[in-house]
Amino acid sequence: MMKEEFLQQARDSVRAAFGGTDSLADLLRIHLVMEQILGEALRLALPSPETLLPQTSLRFFQKARLLRSLNFLTDDALAFLLELNSLRNRFAHRLGYVLTEADAESFGRLCPELYETIKAEDLNTRFSKTISQLLGRLVGQLEGRRILEEGK
């Protein structure tokens, strides 16, 4: 996949991930989309992806950390992805888990300038707006990476 196709797919997938007021459904869609984006980013970032990716089943956090080690992501982007993965795991492994104030605040700490302005809004709205802002930053980082240029 070429740079522009990848970036357009990333933008479209992130926009499509937000479907409504169900924070669990949004979270699962976002996690799925981000896992696909991380996999494609690794294919673009690695000099010889075929030597690692087909034989290795990397987990979400491993893909994120590998991209950070390649200077493909910033520390802030890595923190966001690890927090996203952690929250997804809480939902997946704790029957009946519901989004909490602490969950929303953990993402809010990654985006304090926005979070301050939306503190009075309900929990799901704060969660969705904060996640949307952080996802936008992440896609912007991908757009700014030289490694994604044609002919790297």
SS (H, E, C) 81-115: HHHHHHHHHHHHHCCCCCCCHHHHHHHHCCCHHHH
- Taking the C-alpha atoms of residue 45 and residue 65, their distance in angstroms, rounded to an integer, is 13
Q: Return the beta strands (E) in the chain as ranges.
A: none
What pLDDT shows up at residue 151?
Answer: 42
Residue ranges in the chain modelled with pLDDT below 50: 1, 146-152
- Domain residues for the domain of 39 are 3-148
- Taking the C-alpha atoms of residue 121 and residue 83, their distance in angstroms, rounded to an integer, is 21
- Taking the C-alpha atoms of residue 137 and residue 142, their distance in angstroms, rounded to an integer, is 9
pTM of this prediction?
A: 0.81
What pLDDT shows up at residue 7?
Answer: 63
- Taking the C-alpha atoms of residue 108 and residue 102, their distance in angstroms, rounded to an integer, is 9
Domain count for the chain, please give it. 1
CATH number at 135 reads 1.20.120
